[in-house]
């Protein structure tokens, strides 16, 4: 159960444009938005930044979700793991690839470019100073500077979300919980304190 009461969407008519936009993108309004709604200015700024990072640029949207998924796993945020595994599938990433995302170094399912991006996600998600110069040099072999900024933008966005949702103990919604359970049936994924 969340530590801070989630506000009811129907009580937030001034935030309906934000809520409608995120519902259209995700298929539901995340409970984290209903907690962020206590500070409407932050929610507006956050939703603009998140939308830009996840829905624009040159890096494939599916790869962005895998980056977010590995980042969230490194940080231990089950809420964000459920969301990003669900979103990765919606962006066209095969369930088998999502299920093996944490084995990216050894799995033939991942290209060298994907491995380079997921490696930076892993070390950046664990602790930002875990990313070494060699990790970035490998990333530069496959991605432009702009694309690297996008990749680090995703890692940074989920650094915020991982801490937000774990600190708040955000209740996980039914759709991402079901999707994560189905996609990750052969892993040790559990929703923990974020149970729906």
pLDDT tens-place string over residues 178-188: 877 776 544 44
Cα separation, 18 vs 64, whole angstroms: 22
**Helices and strands, number each (H, E), in the chain:** 10, 0
Tens of pLDDT, residue by residue over 115-173, are 999 999 999 999 878 999 999 999 999 999 999 999 999 999 999 999 999 999 999 99
For the record, the structure tokens of 49 come out as 């930044």
Burial classification of residue 91, based on how many CB atoms lie within 10 Å of its CB (0-12 exposed, 13-18 middle, 19 or more buried): middle
- What whole-number distance in Å separates Cα of residue 163 and Cα of residue 113? 28
Q: What is the DSSP string of 60-96?
A: -HHHHHHHHHHHHHHHT-HHHHHHHHHHHHHTT--HH
State the average pLDDT over residues 174-178: 85
Q: What is the pTM of this model?
A: 0.91
- Residue-wise pLDDT tens digits, 74-102: 999 989 999 999 899 999 999 999 999 99
**What pLDDT is stored for residue 123 in this prediction?**
96
How much is the pLDDT for 187? 45
Instruction: Find the range with the poorest average confidence among 22-26, 173-177, 178-182.
Output: 178-182
Domains and CATH numbers, the chain: 57-194 (1.20.1290.10)
What is d(CA 84, CA 78) in angstroms, rounded to the nearest whole number?
10
pLDDT at 180: 76
Structure token digits, residue 169: 């103990």
């Amino acid at each position: 159960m969340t530590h801070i009461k989630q506000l009811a969407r129907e009580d937030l008519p001034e935030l309906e444009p934000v809520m409608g936009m995120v519902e259209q993108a995700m298929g539901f309004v995340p409970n984290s938005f209903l907690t962020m709604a206590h500070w409407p200015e932050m929610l507006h700024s956050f939703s603009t930044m998140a939308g830009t990072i996840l829905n624009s640029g040159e890096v494939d949207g599916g790869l962005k979700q895998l980056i977010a998924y590995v980042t969230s796993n490194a940080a231990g945020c089950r809420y964000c793991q459920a969301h990003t595994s669900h979103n990765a599938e919606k962006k066209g990433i095969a369930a088998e690839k999502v299920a093996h995302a944490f084995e990216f170094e050894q799995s033939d399912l991942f290209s060298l470019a994907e491995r380079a991006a997921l490696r930076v996600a892993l070390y950046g998600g664990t602790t930002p100073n875990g990313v070494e110069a060699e990790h970035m040099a490998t990333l530069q072999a496959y991605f432009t500077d702009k694309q690297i900024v996008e990749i680090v933008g995703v890692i940074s966005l989920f650094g915020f979300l991982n801490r937000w949702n774990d600190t708040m103990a955000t209740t996980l919604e039914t759709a991402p919980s079901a999707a994560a359970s189905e996609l990750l049936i052969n892993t040790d994924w559990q929703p923990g304190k974020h149970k729906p």
